Amino acid sequence: MRREKNGFWVGFAAVFFYPIGFLTGRIRYEGRDRLPARGGALIVANHISYLDPVHTALWVHSAGRVPRFLAKHSLWKIPVLGRILVGSGQIPVFRDSADAQQSLSAGTRALQDGKIVVIYPEGTITRDPQGWPMHARTGMARLALTSDVPVIPVVHWGTREVYDHYNRTFRPLPRRTITVRSGEPVDLSSYRGKPIDATLLREVTDLVMGRVRDLLAEVRGEQAPTEFYRRGNGS
């Protein structure tokens, strides 16, 4: 397998991420063959724990590619971590500000330059009590429609059992199985070339996140809910 060039800071991060991934559970990474060996791809993932980015990164990196995350800009202010994020080409997200469009533009450029871009469209860890995906933001759809690259649904399961942020629990033992699995790329050919407006963005967002939800149901072996959880309703 030919590996994408890492650079110093990606290698530096890998030194820490691989041990963390190993120590936090029994890893089951599935569907890495769906990640293209070269060229851009948009990874659209659910978000249940702050451990998710570690395992998303390892899922991508162990397939020979380098992930570029769209992540909240406040992380760039953390000493050392901020330097790693800059050096490894991660993309800060400025929500609800005049700089928000810059984040999407940077993501689009990365995809057009043949990079792997990872986005968690829910914007934060799900508030759904059962761990299903929430109603998602539409920035992901804009990235998908302005870049002609594969859009690959990816799910995590097991990470919340290790680290549950909302309940302030960290339980690395006994070791639990952590699954990261991808589905088939979502066919968006019928949406491409149409005028991009709010209605189209919402339709594409719900379509892709529906695939994420269905994939999670497969991993969990359970029936998925028919509607997305909304934070404004009892959260």
**CATH code: domain of residue 186:** 3.40.1130.10
The pTM assigned to this predicted structure is: 0.92
Is the confidence at residue 189, as pLDDT, over 70? yes
Tens digits of residue pLDDT in 132-182: 999 999 999 999 999 999 999 999 999 999 999 999 999 999 999 999 999
Identify whether 233 is part of a domain.
Answer: no
Report residue 95 as tokens: 């929500």
Task: Quote the pLDDT of residue 235.
Answer: 37
Is the confidence at residue 53, as pLDDT, over 90? yes
Task: Quote the pLDDT of residue 231.
Answer: 78
Percent of the chain topping pLDDT 70: 94
Identify whether 41 is part of a domain.
Answer: yes
Torsion angle of C-alpha atoms 133, 135, 139, 145, degrees rounded to 10: 80
Tens digits of residue pLDDT in 75-105: 888 887 878 888 888 888 876 655 667 788 8
Identify whether 14 is part of a domain.
Answer: no
Percent of the chain topping pLDDT 90: 75
Identify whether 152 is part of a domain.
Answer: yes
Total domains in the fold of the chain: 1
Is 127 in contact with 142 (CB distance < 8 Å)? no
DSSP string, 24-92: T-EEEEE-GGGS-SSS-EEEEE----TTHHHHHHHHHHTTT--EEEEEEGGGGGSTTHHHHHHHTT-EE
Angle of helix 8-23 versus helix 52-61 axis, rounded to 10: 120
The whole domain housing 31 covers: 21-220
Strands (E), the chain: 26-30, 41-45, 67-72, 91-93, 116-119, 151-157, 163-164, 169-170, 177-182
Identify whether 134 is part of a domain.
Answer: yes
